[in-house]
Amino acid sequence: MAKKEATPNMVEQFAEFKELKNIDKSTMISVLEESFRNVLAKMFGTDENLDVILNPDKGDVQIFQNLTVVPDGEVENPNLQISLSDARADNDPEAEVGEEHTKEIFFEKFGRRAILTLRQTLQSKILDLQKEAIYSKFKELEGELVSGEVYQTWSRETLLLDDDKNELLLPKSEAIPGDFFRKGETVRAVIANVDNKNNNPKITVSRVNNDFLRRLFELEVPEIHDGLISIRAIARIPGERAKIAVESYDDRIDPVGACVGVRGSRIHGIVRELRNENIDVINYTSNPSLFIQRALSPAKITSIRLDEDEKKAEVILKPEEVSLAIGKNGSNIKLASMLTGYVIDVYRDTADTADIEEDIYLDEFKDEIDEWVIEALKNIGCITAKNVLNAPREMLIEQADLEESTVDQVINVLRAEFED
């Protein structure tokens, strides 16, 4: 039986695919064999009596067809049978009727169309394999930091390419306000979501995700990377302000100092990456009262009353501390609530704080005050009627961005309630 020599076409066919990334050798061989079998099955009606032997490293393939020997003139299906005389003429002089004869098939002899069909089948299967490999790789990396080069920017999203030319999609909603990217610029983000709808992997990255801040701290603070300091909670208003609670497992290490660095050396790089997002680093504690007190920093609390079942906290401060606790546009109290998991209500420290129990949530006034006005007040930390009445009028106008007449109307409605 003459040995088949691989044609240049077949060598090139294998050489084109054998260096593919993310696909192991055994899987590659399996796909090649399956592709050959699919094409051969269409040509011969079946592949059950075919043996396909592959050597992808050399670009060599051998195909053998196992046929049943039948008497001359009785061949009904040439794809399954061979006549006795043809079998003996095909290097098998001792062939007998009823035995199996193995005949070598030279694929390249089927012509250019067969080779083109094989190439297309291979390309389709390889593409599917590559997509599955990309999906599996990035699905395991969700929440991890990744870098990509800006390839193209549209109004709603930016396309990044990583070192392996994988496409990473950064939607505008996942970019930090103020982010502006130029083509060729390197951008860092975290992998937020990976889906594979219709076997088409889509890798979405984010710069507003809390994990982005977490990974940046792990990168800049060796003690966090090494596990000596743990990040226990994160709260962010992307591009504006963030709070992060840290805890040290070594009493000799100051977790806040380690995260900030000498003269802010460690945190400055993170702040720049986040478009000058203000970052407050505080010590974590399992004591909820103390944790809320630290989270409301720089405001100083006079006293605090907790409802742990409802996850609510009533915080009493001196009048001059109220605006600090609430912060610009309500950012401080909002972040403190996000960080601690408690709904925080702020009250002025008066001679008699017992009237806290008589307070009323603003939502109860929806029949008399427009809902958007109530939401504007709640956004700056004024959740109850007495929150509003105890806050300076000028602060309500400025921070809630309300007209003077609107604020006066709200105050009159709330005062009337308590006078009644």
* CATH class entry, domain 285-420: alpha beta
Residue 366 confidence (pLDDT): 87
CA distances (Å), origin 35, targets 57, 125, 336: 17, 8, 59
Q: What is the C-alpha separation between 414 and 364, in angstroms, rounded?
A: 11
Of the chain, the percentage scoring pLDDT greater than 90 comes to 50
Q: Which helix (H) or strand (E) holds 158?
A: strand 157-161
- Name the E strands within 163-288: 167-171, 186-195, 202-206, 229-237, 241-248, 278-283
Q: What is the DSSP letter of 163?
A: T
Higher local confidence (pLDDT), 337 or 118:
337
List every span in the chain annotated with CATH 3.30.300.20.
Answer: 285-420
Collapsing DSSP states into helix, strand and coil, what is residue 37? Answer: helix
Average pLDDT over residues 334-361: 77
pLDDT, the chain, mean:
86
Higher local confidence (pLDDT), 350 or 149:
149
Average pLDDT over residues 70-95: 90
Query: Angle CA(380)–CA(232)–CA(329) in degrees, nearest 5?
Result: 10
* Report for 27-31, 189-193, 305-309, 385-389: range of highest mean pLDDT: 189-193
Residue 379 confidence (pLDDT): 77
Q: What digits encode the pLDDT tens for the residues 362-398?
A: 888 888 999 899 888 887 777 778 878 888 888 888 8
Q: What digits encode the pLDDT tens for the residues 102-161?
A: 988 887 777 788 778 878 887 888 888 888 889 999 999 999 999 999 999 999 999 999
- Its CATH architecture, for the domain 8-136, is 2-Layer Sandwich (3.30)
List every span in the chain annotated with CATH 3.30.1480.10.
Answer: 8-136
Q: How many CB atoms lie within 10 A of CB 178?
A: 12
Q: Which of 19-23, 110-114, 186-190, 328-332 has the lowest mean pLDDT?
A: 19-23
Residue 14 confidence (pLDDT): 52
What is the C-alpha radius of gyration for the chain, rounded to an integer number of angstroms? 36
Higher local confidence (pLDDT), 101 or 353:
101
What's the CATH fold of domain 141-208? OB fold (Dihydrolipoamide Acetyltransferase, E2P) (2.40.50)
Collapsing DSSP states into helix, strand and coil, what is residue 400? Answer: coil
List every span in the chain annotated with CATH 2.40.50.140.
Answer: 141-208
Q: Which of 167-171, 234-238, 324-328 has the lowest mean pLDDT?
A: 324-328
Confidence of residue 284 (pLDDT cuts 50, 70, 90): very high
Chain centroid to Cα 228, Å, comes to: 26
**Structure tokens given for 166:** 């994988």
